[in-house]
Amino acid sequence: MHDLGLDLMGALHGEKAFIGPEHVVVDITNRCNTNCIACWTYSPLLRDKAAPVSWKRQEIPGDAAHRLMDDLAVLGTRRVRFTGGGDPILHPQFYSLIRRIKSRGMRALVTTNMIKADTEKFAEAGIDEITASLWASNPTTYSRLHPNQGPATFSRITRVLEELRQTARPPVMTLANVINRMNFHEMEEMYEYAIDLGVHAVYFTLVDPVQGATEGLMLTDEERHFGLQAIERIQARQKSLGESAPLLDNVGEFTGRLSNQEATNGFYDAGRIDELPCTIGWNFCRILADGDVVPCCRAVMLPLGNIIERPFKEIWFALKYNEFREKALKLKKDDPYFEEVQCYRMCDNLMHNRQFADRLDGLGDPGRGALQTRLRGYLDAAKEPPPEPGTVAEKGSLPPPDRDGSEPPAREEGAA
């Protein structure tokens, strides 16, 4: 079971982790069966910037992937999401891995294009959440955005989503839409499609372009303005439906990006990133199809170890990971360390950092004091000096390490 106080305590320390990541995203395969128009690796617009064939064949071997699930469960991970470079369902052991996650008491989530989705296999494996990445509300738009798929694929996916809703234990379903110049005009129809399907939520995000290849898909100022108005109309529709309405997942980040004046250049989160401490190193990580462990969704060029070579636990608690945690927490993201991450373009983990900050704020002074006391206890037991001032405390989220910790220990798990 994940102890929610321990990840907060790690941020208080400023470098170390005291428990494994709560959420883990695993790119189990880079193989894919479609070519979404804005895909970073398979879009037909990429031409010479497309990923090499050797990359497209990468896949975490089944035994290593199963072992990883066991290791994560021991470290306290609560949610494992299969997503990433290719379509997870194409991994030959996809359903077996879902069963392994479930048997270890974690939640199993997948982000998929749904082309190979099978209602019975999903139901039998006990998948908890499915994010269907469709980018369209109808067969015509769908096939324009997935040039190697015909309209019939959309109809089949619709049927599978309807079937999944009828299963004995329906998964939580979200429709994901990457908004770009080819589909921004039908955001309201996407929401109506979600209503018709009876899914749990709709997720909108803006296209993150590949420089020199897919910039033409970015919205103009006028189109972003249209998008903001569409969201207002969708929210009015949502309100009119009451509790049965699909949620708008993470809509605040989406409208924030639509409103950002720098969005036309693809720097959607410039001006917002440095306002929030980056605490992603304490509750999240991503594992790529070649086994590399990277600390956030964007940090694919910042590997901190490889699970084929070393157990995940060793990587997660190593000095190299501590270095990332400290730098992500303390440094502005224009520091050269983050050059390859390009945080200002779009931080896909902004909501995680925001949730973490909210949990810290929610502790209040007594909870923070108790956490401080708990940290001292850990450091005393390990005979380590307390951390230097200058961690998350100085960013206003937690008290400094020498603050009086005499309050009685609180159950910070509940407060978090």
Which residues of the shown chain bind ligand SF4 in the complex (CB under 6 A)? 273, 278, 280, 296, 298-299, 328, 333, 338, 341, 343, 347, 349
Judged by beta carbon, residue 130 or residue 343, the one nearer ligand SF4 is 343
Judged by beta carbon, residue 224 or residue 333, the one nearer ligand SF4 is 333
Shortest gap between Cβ of 63 and ligand SF4 (angstroms)? 30
Judged by beta carbon, residue 100 or residue 298, the one nearer ligand SF4 is 298
Dig out the tokens for 51 from the structure.
């990923």
**What is the C-alpha to C-alpha distance for residues 359 and 382, in angstroms, rounded to an integer?**
26
Judged by beta carbon, residue 89 or residue 328, the one nearer ligand SF4 is 328
Dig out the tokens for 328 from the structure.
């992500």
| CB-CB neighbours of 200 under 10 Å | 19
**What is the C-alpha to C-alpha distance for residues 391 and 170, in angstroms, rounded to an integer?**
43
Shortest gap between Cβ of 103 and ligand SF4 (angstroms)? 30
Judged by beta carbon, residue 137 or residue 322, the one nearer ligand SF4 is 322
| CB-CB neighbours of 265 under 10 Å | 14
Shortest gap between Cβ of 384 and ligand SF4 (angstroms)? 26
Contact 58, 289 (CB under 8 A): yes
DSSP string, 40-67: TTT-TT-GGGSPPHHHHT-B--HHHHHH
Judged by beta carbon, residue 16 or residue 56, the one nearer ligand SF4 is 16
Shortest gap between Cβ of 392 and ligand SF4 (angstroms)? 13
**What is the C-alpha to C-alpha distance for residues 81 and 355, in angstroms, rounded to an integer?**
18
Judged by beta carbon, residue 278 or residue 357, the one nearer ligand SF4 is 278
> Which residues is 29 bridged to in the sheet?
59
Judged by beta carbon, residue 145 or residue 328, the one nearer ligand SF4 is 328
Contact 5, 374 (CB under 8 A): yes
Reduced to 3 states, what is the DSSP secondary structure of residue 256? helix
Residue from 399, 378, 393, 109 nearest 279 by CA: 393
For residue 222, what are the contacts with CB-CB under 8 A and spacing of at least 6? none
The residue to which tokens 């020199």 are assigned? 212
CA angle 90, 191, 126 (to 5 degrees): 40
Shortest gap between Cβ of 347 and ligand SF4 (angstroms)? 3
**In this structure, which amino acid lies at residue 239?**
K
Judged by beta carbon, residue 77 or residue 349, the one nearer ligand SF4 is 349
Shortest gap between Cβ of 227 and ligand SF4 (angstroms)? 23
Count CA atoms closer than 13 A to 227's CA, side-chain side.
28
- How do strand 293-294 and strand 284-287 relate by DSSP bridges? antiparallel
**What is the C-alpha to C-alpha distance for residues 251 and 191, in angstroms, rounded to an integer?**
13
Judged by beta carbon, residue 81 or residue 100, the one nearer ligand SF4 is 81
Shortest gap between Cβ of 85 and ligand SF4 (angstroms)? 17
Shortest gap between Cβ of 67 and ligand SF4 (angstroms)? 26
Dig out the tokens for 23 from the structure.
């959420």
Shortest gap between Cβ of 24 and ligand SF4 (angstroms)? 14
